[in-house]
Amino acid sequence: MEKKDGKRRDKALSRDQVISAAIAILNESGESGLTFRTLAQRLVTGPGAIYNHVRNKEDLLAAAADVMIQSALSVNRDELAPDAAIRAVALDVFDIIDAHPWVGTELSRAPWQPAMLLIFDRIGANLQALGVPDRAQFHAASTVTNFILGAAAQQAAAIRLHADGAQRATLLSAAARAAIHQDKRSSPFLQRMAGNLTEHDDREQFSAGIDMILRGIRG
Amino acid sequence: MEKKDGKRRDKALSRDQVISAAIAILNESGESGLTFRTLAQRLVTGPGAIYNHVRNKEDLLAAAADVMIQSALSVNRDELAPDAAIRAVALDVFDIIDAHPWVGTELSRAPWQPAMLLIFDRIGANLQALGVPDRAQFHAASTVTNFILGAAAQQAAAIRLHADGAQRATLLSAAARAAIHQDKRSSPFLQRMAGNLTEHDDREQFSAGIDMILRGIRG
DNA sequence: ACCTGAACACCGTTCAAGT
DNA sequence: ACCTGAACACCGTTCAAGT
C-alpha cells in the first residue's frame, strides 16, 4: 500500500491522517494487526509521534469506529417509511460489521461512544413518525441500539473465529458443540434448536430480530 | 484473601481450582488484574503450570464467565408465568454483570460461548408457554439474547469507566458530552434525549427493553 | 504427568533529546 | 510544537529442565 497523499513529505502529520492509517491497517489485518509500531511504520515516523494526535489506543479505536459508522450511515433514508428507515439503519450497521468485524468489537468496548450515539440518534429520529409516545422514545431507541450492539459483537466474534479457523466455516466451535451435546435433559430448548444454530443465516436472524422489536416498540 | 481449601499443599492442581482462583482475582481486581503471573502467584506455582489445565486465556475467561452465569441462573423459575420467567432470567444476568462487570465484557468476546448458550436456552425454554409459534422461537430467543448481550456490554463498560474515573459518577464521559453538544442540527433526537442520557436508571432502562421485546415476540 | 521459571516475542506508553 | 526512538514496565505463551 502506498501513502494516500503526498502531505507527509513536508512533515505535517494530522489526527485525520493517523486515524485514516489506523483504519487502513484495521481493515487489512484486523485488530491484532494494529499496534503503535505498525501504525508508526505506515506513517513513516516513531511510535511516540502518534501520541501528539490521539490520547491513547482506546481514543484511536473509538475515533476509527466513528468514521466507519458515519460513513455507513451517510446514505439519506428520509424518503423511507419510519419502520423501513429503522430497518435500513440497522442493516447498514450490520453490513459494515460483516465487512469489517473490528468495528463491531469496538462498538461495545466503550460506553457513550460517538459511533454508538450516532446509531442511537438515527434510530430515534424515526420513532416520532412511527407513533411511539414521547415518554417511550428513549427506551425504544436504547432497546434497538442495545440489540444492534449485541448482535454486532456476536457477528464480529463469529467472523474472527472464521478468519483464523479456516475450514470450520458454518460449524459451531468445538466448545459450543460440546455444550449442545452434554446435558441433554437440562437444556431441551438448546437441543431442539441445534439445527438452527448450525444452519441459520446471520443476516436473516438479525433482520428478524429488528422486526420483532419494531412490533414491540410500536406498542 | 486466604486459599479456599487446603488441597494445594499436596500439589494437586485442578482445572476447577484454576478457574476459581481466576474468578476470585477478576471479582477483586477486574479484568486488568488477571494475568498468568498474578494467577500463578495465588496458586503458588509458576505461570506455565496453568497451561496444563486451560488451553489459553480465552478458554480461562470463557470458563470463568460460564461459572458465574450458571450460578446466576441456578434459581428455579418454573413457578413463574413465562413472561415473568424471561424477565427474571434477564434481570439475573443484568444483576450479576452489575456486580461483576468483567462477566459482561467476556460474554460478547467469544461467540457460541457456553455462558451465552445457557442464557439462550433459559430464555427459549419459556417461549412455548408464551405462545410463540415453533418456527419463530429461534429468532425470538436470539433477539432477547442479543439485546441482553448488548446491554451487558454497555453496562460493563460504563461501570469500568466509573471505577477508574471516580468522581464523574452519573455524568457522561467527556467524549459523549462533546458529541451531544456539537452538531445540534444534525442530531435532533440525541439533543432531545440529552436529559434522559445523563439521568436515566440503567436497570429500569434494561427492564423496559425486555418488556418491549416481549410485546414484539408475542406477535 | 505435572510443575517450574527463565526466556521469547511481543505490547502500550513515556520521555529525554533533538529539530 | 512536534518528532524520534530508546527505554520502561509490562503481557501471553513456550519449553527445557526438573520431580
- The CA distances from residue A97 to A102, A149, A173, A198, B111, in Å, are 7, 10, 20, 21, 15
DSSP classification of residue A32: G
> Three cell numbers at A145?
441500539
Q: Residues A67-111: pLDDT tens digits?
A: 999 999 999 888 999 999 999 999 999 999 999 999 999 999 988
Q: Are A44 and A8 a contacting pair, CB within 8 Å?
A: yes
In sequence order, what are the residues at sequence separation of 6 or more whose Cβ sits closer than 8 angstroms to the Cβ of residue A128?
A137
Residues on chain A touching B69 (C-beta within 8 angstroms): none
Instruction: Write the CB contacts of A29 (distance below 8 Å, at least 6 apart in sequence).
Output: A38
pLDDT at residue A5 in the model = 39
Q: How far apart are the first and last CA of chain A?
A: 52
Q: What is the maximum alpha-carbon separation in chain A?
A: 69
How far from each other are the two terminal CA atoms of chain B, in whole angstroms? Answer: 51
Among chain A residues, the shortest Cα distance to B206 is held by A143
Which grid cell sits at B91?
434481570
As ranges, strand C nucleotides with an atom below 7 A of a protein CB are: 2-7, 10-16
pLDDT profile of chain B (219 residues), mean per 10: 40 93 98 98 97 97 98 91 97 98 96 94 96 97 98 95 59 68 80 90 97 92
- The per-residue pLDDT string of chain A (219 residues; one tens digit each, 9 = 90 and over) reads 333 333 344 577 999 999 999 999 999 999 999 999 999 999 999 999 999 999 999 999 999 999 999 999 999 888 999 999 999 999 999 999 999 999 999 999 988 899 999 999 999 999 999 999 999 999 999 999 999 999 999 999 999 887 765 545 455 666 677 777 777 678 999 999 999 988 899 999 999 999 999 998 987
Chain-centre distance of CA B165, in angstroms?
Answer: 21
Nearest to A43 by CA among A25, A58, A26, A68: A25
Strands (E), chain A: none
Distance from CA of A193 to the nearest CA of B (A): 7
A11 Cβ nearer than 7 Å to chain C strand:
no
pTM for the complete prediction? 0.93
B104 neighbors B152 (Cβ within 8 angstroms): yes
Q: What angle, rounded to 10 degrees, do the helices at A202-217 and B202-217 form?
A: 100
* pLDDT for position B219: 74
Chain B partners within 8 Å of A108 (Cβ): 108, 150, 153-154, 157
Q: Dig out the grid coordinates for A61 from the structure.
A: 479505536
CB spacing of B173 vs A111 below 8 angstroms? yes
In chain A, alpha helices (H): 15-29, 36-42, 57-72, 82-99, 101-107, 114-124, 127-130, 134-165, 174-181, 188-199, 202-217
Min Cα distance B29 → chain A (Å) is: 18
Neighbours of B10 (CB within 10 A): 6
Contacts of A214 in chain B (CB under 8 A): 216
DSSP one-letter code for A3: -
